[in-house]
Structure 1
Amino acid sequence: CVSTTVDPFWDISLDVAQEVLRSPSSSSGSPQQITLEDCLHRYIMPEHLGSNAKTKCARCETYEESTKQLTLKTLPMVACFHLKRFEHSHKDRKKMDTKIKYPQFIDMTPFTASFRERSSGAPESRTSIVTDLLTTNRNKYELFAVVNHLGTMESGHYTCYIRHQRNQWFQCDDQKVTKVPTERVLSSQGYLLFYHKCHADYY
């Protein structure tokens, strides 16, 4: 039995713990480097809920072990990715400085519900292939802002990189605003990543 629940979201919170993300399937090809795409693939991986979280099937009315999987049904104009760098537990709390490589452009198609449905279905026709190409173009995003956290859990400071024009970036650090190259932005640690669609959808 399969059930679907649709929930709105403000941002996408992604695990950055190396022990969680590091795997042979890492798109980076290196155990030392983790990409934003790796985090997103981890986000949509099926999760087995186990015997302690059995759910009742509405159709057969029996309790069964279940699997949960997240996908994106509708993509927003602006996508905000929250890298979960702060970890709290009953023992301690810490900040994770895991290096996450994030791109200037990203295609969100592989993380959508429609892509998952097509991937598990029958071979595509020529018409559906053309439709997929158009969809891919609509699902491309470009980075336009990055929020960074400097320091520790106990004492820290937030700064922001913001793109003003096509390739002109500025760093905002309290009242100080300075021009910076794109390379400096992409090499920063990243806490919040803001992307906007390259092609606007009008409804």
Structure 2
Amino acid sequence: MPCCACSLFKRTEDEYIPDAESVRQVKEQHLQPQTCSLAQCFQLYTKEEQLAPDDAWRCPHCKQLQQGSIKLSLWTLPDILILHLKRFRQVHRRMKMQNMVKFPLTGMDMAWNYLYDLYAVCNHHGTMQGGHYTAHCKNSIDGQWYCFDDSDVHPVSEDEVCKQTAYILFYQRRATIPSWSANSSVGGNVLLMSCCMLPYICCIWLFSMECIANDESLSVWVFRIHQFILV
């Protein structure tokens, strides 16, 4: 370190102390994404929070500002439950949260008589600045999971569905799943009936496109569909 007045140069040496093993482990643990469950996410989301003094609310009874609390609750549950996981946040800079969220594939118990089964997952690969979306979807006929990656579609195992890239979860209430779905026994007659219905579905779709192109009314379109099915 030189002196600006007399140009005296002083040399100092500091002893280097390497990080202890415990400190290194703490650093690595802090850098690694933490794992949590979907149930823990629900608990944190519905946890009661105390409002800060700046967020005081005016009591309608005493007309005074009071420090209260806030709590989110789920009063009603839908047949189709879509859960959006928080994957992006703004802390000094935009960043993606890489935490592994473990979620059940079947039998998610939300309330009495409200069991949900997973039927699709939207995945995000990449960073905040750029990425790619894929989807895992379950075939309701044979129960097989498939990965949809642009034009590529291939079967995957259940272990490949619950991944760190999960972004949006799609659940269906078990009571609303048809009896011929993958959760029940599937007979050959059901498969045959489903295959036989495909031409009808395709023709109905073609009829709808034709009516829209010709600007026909909905009543005429419905009549033509019924007429086609009854013939």
Which bracket does the TM-score occupy, shorter chain normalised?
0.5 to 0.7
Q: Report the Cα offset of residue 32 of structure 1.
A: 5.0
Counterpart residue number, 1:97: 98
Structure 1 gaps, min length 5: 1-30, 110-135
Q: Report the Cα offset of residue 183 of structure 1.
A: 1.6
Q: Report the Cα offset of residue 88 of structure 1.
A: 2.2
Q: Report the Cα offset of residue 83 of structure 1.
A: 1.0
Q: 1:157 to 1:92 in 2, by over 3 A?
A: same
What TM-score does the superposition give when structure 1 sets the normalisation length? 0.66
Q: Say which of 159, 176, 181 aligns to 2:152.
A: 176
Counterpart residue number, 2:80: 78
Maintained 8 Å contact 2:101/2:164: no
Q: Report the Cα offset of residue 188 of structure 1.
A: 4.8
- Whole-Å separation in 1 of the counterparts to 2:139 and 2:173: 16
Counterpart residue number, 2:121: 146
Q: Say which of 56, 59, 65 aligns to 1:57.
A: 59
SS in 2 for 1:41: helix
Decide which structure has greater helix share.
2
* Amino acid aligned to 1:96: M
Report the number of matched residues.
Answer: 143
Maintained 8 Å contact 1:56/1:63: yes
SS in 1 for 2:166: coil
- Whole-Å separation in 2 of the counterparts to 1:48 and 1:99: 28
1:77-136 C-alpha deviation (Å, 9 max, x unpaired)? 1111111111124x3111111111111131112xxxxxxxxxxxxxxxxxxxxxxxxxx1
Q: Report the Cα offset of residue 152 of structure 1.
A: 1.2
* Amino acid aligned to 1:43: Y
Counterpart residue number, 2:137: 162
Decide which structure has greater strand share.
1
Maintained 8 Å contact 1:86/1:96: yes
- Whole-Å separation in 2 of the counterparts to 1:85 and 1:151: 11
Counterpart residue number, 2:45: 43
- Whole-Å separation in 2 of the counterparts to 1:143 and 1:74: 19
What TM-score does the superposition give when structure 2 sets the normalisation length? 0.58
Structure 2 gaps, min length 5: 1-32, 178-231
- Whole-Å separation in 2 of the counterparts to 1:141 and 1:192: 15
> Which moved further from structure 2: 152-161 or 163-172?
163-172
Maintained 8 Å contact 2:125/2:165: no
Identity of aligned residues (%): 36
Counterpart residue number, 2:36: 34
* Amino acid aligned to 1:97: Q
- Cα RMSD, aligned residues only: 1.9
Maintained 8 Å contact 2:138/2:144: yes
Higher relative contact order structure (alpha carbons within 8 Å, sequence separation ≥ 6): 1
